[in-house]
Amino acid sequence: MSELIPAFLVGYLAQRDAARTDAVTTFLTSLTVRELGLVKDAAVMGYVRGTMAPKGEPIPKDRAILAEVVDAALAFPDLYPAVNADPTEER
């Protein structure tokens, strides 16, 4: 496929991809252990719930989504340890 795309554009796209990867890495490494755990738990739960969403159904309001996600995270403490961690522990 790259023979159909000019070399300068392939190089630019590769640079942009590397820059996005670096930005993600920089952000994630700036988080505390607890923050990283919460971001991971939220990302995984969001992905899982998103794949389970019925097609053609309206998307609930943010508050309803938040309640559903927290309820599910609390129901599976082994899968979402950051949500279930003791908030008084050292962060």
- Reported as a single tens digit per residue, the pLDDT across 44-79 is 888 887 888 888 888 888 888 888 888 888 898 898
CA-to-CA distance for 13 and 27, rounded, in angstroms? 21
**Judgement on whether residues 24 and 40 belong to the same structural domain of the protein:** no
Q: Hey, what amino acid is at 28?
A: L
**Judgement on whether residues 40 and 78 belong to the same structural domain of the protein:** yes
Higher-scoring residue by pLDDT: 16, 45: 16
**Judgement on whether residues 43 and 85 belong to the same structural domain of the protein:** yes
**Judgement on whether residues 90 and 56 belong to the same structural domain of the protein:** yes
- As for how many domains the chain has, the answer is 2
Among 74, 49, 72, 45, CA closest to 59? 49
**Judgement on whether residues 53 and 88 belong to the same structural domain of the protein:** yes
**Judgement on whether residues 13 and 56 belong to the same structural domain of the protein:** no
The reported pLDDT for the residue numbered 2 is 53
User: Whole domain around residue 62: which residue ranges?
Assistant: 32-91
Is it the case that residue 14 has pLDDT exceeding 80? Answer: yes
**In terms of pTM, does the model score above 0.85?**
no
**Judgement on whether residues 57 and 74 belong to the same structural domain of the protein:** yes
**Judgement on whether residues 44 and 66 belong to the same structural domain of the protein:** yes
Is it the case that residue 16 has pLDDT exceeding 80? Answer: yes
Q: Are 36 and 28 in contact (CB under 8 A)?
A: yes
Across the chain, what does the average pLDDT equal?
86
CA-to-CA distance for 67 and 70, rounded, in angstroms? 5
